[in-house]
Structure 1
Amino acid sequence: MSAARPPLAVTGIGLVTPAGPGTGPTWQGVLDARATAAIDPELAGLPVGISCRVPRFDARALIGGRHSWRLDRATHFALVAAREAVADAGLRPAEWDGARVAVVLGSAAGGVGSYEQAAQRFAVRGAAAVSALALPAFLPNMAAGQLAIDLGATGPVLHTATACASGAAALHTAALLLHAGACDIALAGGTDAMITPVCVAAFARMGALSRHGDPAYASRPFDGRRDGFVLGEGAGFTVLERHADAVCRRVPIRALLVGVGSAADAHHPVAPHPQARGLEAAVRQALAEAGAGVADVDHVNAHGTGTRLNDRAEAGMIERLFAHRPPSVTSAKGALGHTMGAAGAVEAALTVLTVQHRTVPATAGFAEPDRDTGRIDLVHGGPRRQRVRLALSTSAGFGGHNTALAFAPGG
C-alpha cells in the first residue's frame, strides 16, 4: 500500500465506556464479549427500562468536586477519556505549545441531561430556578471548550455533530487539520450521555430500542432476532500526530490512520439507504486515500447497531463490496450498547487495539444469523487471533451521515 497522503500516527487512546472507565477495562470487556446492558432504575416507568451505563464512575474523584458539579455528565466522560489519551501518548500539557494543539470533539446531543434538568426546573418553579450555569453545561460545543481549558490547547477547537457518526467525523476533521498544517497534535474523539428520560422516550417511540426481556440478550448486532439497540453512554479519544513527529518523539505508535472518508445518503432523515450507498462511498474514499483496494482489507469494525434496517444495509454493503475476499467483522455494540456520538470514536480506538494486538473481539449477543446478515464473516463465540494489515471502522448516523476510517499497523 502506498498512501495518497502521509499516514498519521495514533499515539494515545483514552476510553470511558459501559465496560468501565479506562482503555484496559473496555478492551477486556469487548474481548470477553460481555453484555453490559442492565435494568436501569432511573428509567422506571418508561417504555424501555434497560441501558448500558458507565459503572464505577465518580466524577468528583476523577475530575475534582469543586469543578465537576458545574459540568454535564458527557463532559465528565470527555475529560477523563481525553486525559488518559494524552497521558498514553506521553504528552505533558504543561510543556507543549498549546497553539499547535487542536481539539475536535463529536457529540450527538451535547449536554442534553443538563438541558432536561433545566427545562424541568423551569416548568415546575419558573425562570428563577434555572441556573446561570445551565447554558455552559448543555451547549454542544462546551465539552470541547472545557477540554481546551483543561489541557491548555489554544489551536483549533471544534465540535462535530453528525449524530451517531460524530466521533468518527471528529477523527476525520482532525486528520484534515493535521494534513493542512493547522496543528501538530490533534486530540480527537466523541462523548455522549443520552440515557435521559426524554431521549429514551423519543427513541422508544421511534421503535429504535430493543424491548428484549433479558438485558443480556437485548443488544445483538447482526443476529436474526435483533430488535433494536440498547442506549449507552461514554467517551473515546485518540491522539493523532504526523508519523514523522511521533518518530522524532520516540513514542510507541499504536497504529496508523491511513485513510478517511465521509459521504451522505441523501435518502431519509432516520433510515439508512437500503444499499448503504453513502457508507460504501465513505469506505471507497478511505481506501483511495490509503492507496489500498478492497482486497487489502482484513477486518471491519462495523457500525452494527442491532436494528433491523441498519444491520441489513451494512451487511449487504460488506458482502457486496468484499465479495471476493470477505474480511472479519465485529460490532462492539453487543457489549457496550450504542454510545451515540461517542460510538465512532470508541470503535475507532477499538479498531486500533485490534490492529495493534492482532485480535478481533467477538460480537456479544450474537447467536444466529438470518438471510439479511448471514453471509458476512461475523466473529462470535470468542475473540479471533488474526493479523490485520488494514482495518476499517465504519459509522453512520441519523440524517444520512457516514464516515469510514482506515487503520494499518504502526510498525
Structure 2
Amino acid sequence: MSRRVVITGIGAVTPLGTGVEKFWEGIKANKVGISYIDMFDPSRIGVKIAGIVRDFNEEDYFGVEGCFDKKEARRMDTFTKYAVVAAHEALTDSGTNFKDIDPYKVGVIVGSGIGGVDLTLSEYSKYLEKGPSRISAFYIPMMISNMAAGTISMKTGFRGANFDITTACASGTHCIGEAYRKIKDGYLDACLAGGTESTRQEFTFGGFANMKALTKSDDLTRASIPFDKERSGFVLGEGSGVIVLEEYEHAKARGAKIYAELAGYGETCDGYHMTSPMPTGEAAAKGMMLAMEEAGLKPSDIDYINAHGTSTGLNDKYETAAIKLAFGEEEAHRVKISSTKSMIGHLLGAAGAVEAVVCAKTIQEGLIHATVGYKVPDEACDLDYCGNGNIEQEVNAVLSNSLGFGGHNATLCFKRVVD
C-alpha cells in the first residue's frame, strides 16, 4: 500500500511570535527574532543573545479546549506547553478533530532534542539543598522528552502511534518523516508531527558555549548569518512546530485546505564524528537524493532548499558540499537556498519542524525568504543563499534539510499538490 500524504494544518511557537500568522509575517518582513538574554546574567558564559520566545503567555490558554488549565500547567515543562499550543493551532487550522477516523489510526509523533532540562536543573537544586524527599513527584513525567507527544494525545484522544524521536537538531524532521511513512504505508490515516524545545538555563548555554558552538556576537542582525564568511557560531533558540499530516483522499473528501504534499523523506547517518558533519557531505547528499527519489523528482525539479544553515563554520561549508553532490554543480548553483535560522536562531529539536511550516507557507504563497544578515560571500559557500532579499515566484517543490549532532541527517521533500 502506498498512499499520498498532505499537510492540512500548521502551528508554531517561535522567537518571531506565537502562532503561524505572527511567525510568517515576521519571516516575510525579514524580521530578526533574536534578542538579548535576560533569563540569567550571561556574563559568565560570554554569550549575550538567544532566540527567545517572548510573547508566550500560558494564562492565555487556561480553559482553552485542547490546551491546559492552571493546575495542568504546573505539571508541564515549558517544552511540553509549547508543543501543546502548536499542536492545538495546527489541529484548529486543519478544520477537523478527526473524530470520523478510528482513534487508533490517528497518531502523535513529536520530538525534542533535550526535553525538560530546565526542570531537571531546578529539581536538582532542590535535591542539593533539601535532599531527595523534596524532588517533585511530577519531575520524571514532566522531564522525559516523550511527554510532549503523550500530553498532546491526552488532549486530542488520538491513540495511534505515539512517540518522540531524539536525534538532536534533526529530531523534528525525523518525527515528520516517520509520521509520513506511517500514513503512506497505511498504519495511520492522520498524524500530528513535529518538534519542541525550551532551553533557558545558563547551564545549557554554558554547555553549548564551551564546545565553541555558539556565537559570541552581540549584533542582533549579524549574529546568526548562515553561509556568510564572517559566521562565528549559532544562536541558541527555542520554540515548537507541529503540522497535521493527512492521507490525501481523506483530506480531499472533506474539502480540506491543503498546503502541500509531503512526497519524500531521506534519512542517513554520517558515521563520522560527534558534532562535525562529514566533510565530503556524502551522507547528507544521499539523504537529499533519497527524498527526491521517493518523491519522483529530479534536482532540476526542486525550486528551493530550506537549508539546515546553522551559521557555524563547518555545517555551512559541508552542507554546501552536500548540495553540490546531490544536485550536481549546475543545478546546485541554480536552486534557491536560504536559512530560517538567520531570523530565529537554532531551535534544536524544534528546528526542522518549524522549518517544515516555512516550507508549507513557501509553497502556498510563492515566497522564498531571504537569508537575513548575509553580506560577505565565502568561497567555500558559493551557492545562491538568497542574500539580496525575498524572492517571489511559483514554488512547486522544495527540500528541507536537518543535520543533527551524531551525524543524523534527514531531508523532507514537499511539493505542490496536483490532482
The TM-score range, normalised by the shorter chain, is over 0.9
After TM superposition, give the deviation of residue 251 of structure 1 in Å: 0.8
After TM superposition, give the deviation of residue 95 of structure 1 in Å: 6.0
Distance 1:96 1:146 in 2: 20
After TM superposition, give the deviation of residue 117 of structure 1 in Å: 1.1
Residue 22 of structure 1 pairs with residue 29 of structure 2: no
Q: Which residue of 1 aligns with 2:4?
A: 7
Per mean C-alpha deviation after superposition, the further-off stretch among 57-66 and 117-126 is: 57-66
Instruction: Tell me the amino acid that sits aligned with residue 41 of structure 1.
Output: D
**TM-score if structure 1 supplies the norm length?**
0.96
Report the 3-state secondary structure (helix = DSSP H, G, I; strand = E; otherwise coil) of the residue aligned with 1:84. Answer: helix
Q: Which residue of 1 aligns with 2:407?
A: 400
**TM-score if structure 2 supplies the norm length?**
0.94
Per mean C-alpha deviation after superposition, the further-off stretch among 222-231 and 23-32 is: 23-32
Q: Assess, with a 3 A threshold, how the Cα gap between structure 1 residues 5 and 184 changes in structure 2: closer, same or farther.
A: closer
Deviations 1:226-266 (A, max 9, x none): 00011100000111111111111111111000101100000
Count of equivalent residues: 407
Question: Which of 352, 356, 360 is the aligned partner of 1:352?
Answer: 360
Question: Which of 295, 301, 304 is the aligned partner of 1:296?
Answer: 301
After TM superposition, give the deviation of residue 94 of structure 1 in Å: 6.0
Deviations 1:260-308 (A, max 9, x none): 1100000001110012222111111101101111111111000000000
Instruction: Tell me the amino acid that sits aligned with residue 110 of structure 1.
Output: G
Q: Assess, with a 3 A threshold, how the Cα gap between structure 1 residues 205 and 120 changes in structure 2: closer, same or farther.
A: same
Q: Which residue of 1 aligns with 2:263?
A: 258
Instruction: Tell me the amino acid that sits aligned with residue 29 of structure 1.
Output: G
After TM superposition, give the deviation of residue 352 of structure 1 in Å: 1.2
* Unaligned stretches of 5+ residues in structure 2: 62-67
Percent identical residues: 36
Instruction: Tell me the amino acid that sits aligned with residue 209 of structure 2.
Output: A
After TM superposition, give the deviation of residue 60 of structure 1 in Å: 2.3
Deviations 1:68-103 (A, max 9, x none): 111000001000000010111111266653222100
Per mean C-alpha deviation after superposition, the further-off stretch among 129-138 and 380-389 is: 380-389
Assess if the C-alpha contact under 8 Å between 1:33 and 1:334 holds in 2: no
Distance 1:255 1:180 in 2: 19
Assess if the C-alpha contact under 8 Å between 1:9 and 1:243 holds in 2: yes
Deviations 1:149-198 (A, max 9, x none): 01111111011111100000001110121122221111100001123222
Instruction: Tell me the amino acid that sits aligned with residue 375 of structure 2.
Output: A
Report the 3-state secondary structure (helix = DSSP H, G, I; strand = E; otherwise coil) of the residue aligned with 1:42. Answer: coil
Distance 1:398 1:136 in 2: 25
Report the 3-state secondary structure (helix = DSSP H, G, I; strand = E; otherwise coil) of the residue aligned with 2:119. Answer: helix
Instruction: Tell me the amino acid that sits aligned with residue 324 of structure 2.
Output: E
Q: Which residue of 2 aligns with 1:284?
A: 289
After TM superposition, give the deviation of residue 213 of structure 1 in Å: 2.6
Written as runs of structure 1 = structure 2, the 5 A alignment for 1:94-173 is 97-173=102-178
After TM superposition, give the deviation of residue 383 of structure 1 in Å: 1.2
Instruction: Tell me the amino acid that sits aligned with residue 405 of structure 1.
Output: L
Q: Which residue of 1 aligns with 2:340?
A: 332
Q: Which residue of 2 aligns with 1:372?
A: 380
Assess if the C-alpha contact under 8 Å between 2:39 and 2:200 holds in 1: no
After TM superposition, give the deviation of residue 410 of structure 1 in Å: 2.3
Q: Which residue of 1 aligns with 2:44?
A: 46
Assess if the C-alpha contact under 8 Å between 2:2 and 2:185 holds in 1: no
Instruction: Tell me the amino acid that sits aligned with residue 384 of structure 1.
Output: I
Q: Assess, with a 3 A threshold, how the Cα gap between structure 1 residues 56 and 282 changes in structure 2: closer, same or farther.
A: same
* Unaligned stretches of 5+ residues in structure 1: none
Assess if the C-alpha contact under 8 Å between 1:259 and 1:286 holds in 2: yes
Distance 1:179 1:110 in 2: 28
Distance 2:388 2:238 in 1: 25
Q: Assess, with a 3 A threshold, how the Cα gap between structure 1 residues 5 and 357 changes in structure 2: closer, same or farther.
A: farther
Instruction: Tell me the amino acid that sits aligned with residue 50 of structure 2.
Output: S
Distance 2:56 2:388 in 1: 29
Report the 3-state secondary structure (helix = DSSP H, G, I; strand = E; otherwise coil) of the residue aligned with 2:272. Answer: coil
Distance 1:243 1:95 in 2: 15
Report the 3-state secondary structure (helix = DSSP H, G, I; strand = E; otherwise coil) of the residue aligned with 1:154. Answer: coil
Assess if the C-alpha contact under 8 Å between 1:265 and 1:278 holds in 2: yes
Residue 385 of structure 1 pairs with residue 392 of structure 2: yes
Report the 3-state secondary structure (helix = DSSP H, G, I; strand = E; otherwise coil) of the residue aligned with 1:365. Answer: coil
Assess if the C-alpha contact under 8 Å between 2:288 and 2:326 holds in 1: no
After TM superposition, give the deviation of residue 56 of structure 1 in Å: 1.2
After TM superposition, give the deviation of residue 116 of structure 1 in Å: 1.3
Written as runs of structure 1 = structure 2, the 5 A alignment for 1:46-85 is 46-47=44-45, 48-62=47-61, 63-85=68-90
Q: Which residue of 1 aligns with 2:278?
A: 273
Q: Which residue of 1 aligns with 2:65?
A: none
After TM superposition, give the deviation of residue 7 of structure 1 in Å: 2.8
Q: Which residue of 2 aligns with 1:307?
A: 312
Q: Assess, with a 3 A threshold, how the Cα gap between structure 1 residues 339 and 154 changes in structure 2: closer, same or farther.
A: same
Question: Which of 22, 36, 50 is the aligned partner of 2:33?
Answer: 36
After TM superposition, give the deviation of residue 5 of structure 1 in Å: 4.9
Question: Which of 182, 190, 199 is the aligned partner of 1:177?
Answer: 182
After TM superposition, give the deviation of residue 144 of structure 1 in Å: 0.8
After TM superposition, give the deviation of residue 397 of structure 1 in Å: 0.2
Q: Which residue of 2 aligns with 1:316?
A: 321
Assess if the C-alpha contact under 8 Å between 1:347 and 1:393 holds in 2: yes
Q: Assess, with a 3 A threshold, how the Cα gap between structure 1 residues 46 and 330 changes in structure 2: closer, same or farther.
A: same
Assess if the C-alpha contact under 8 Å between 1:51 and 1:195 holds in 2: no
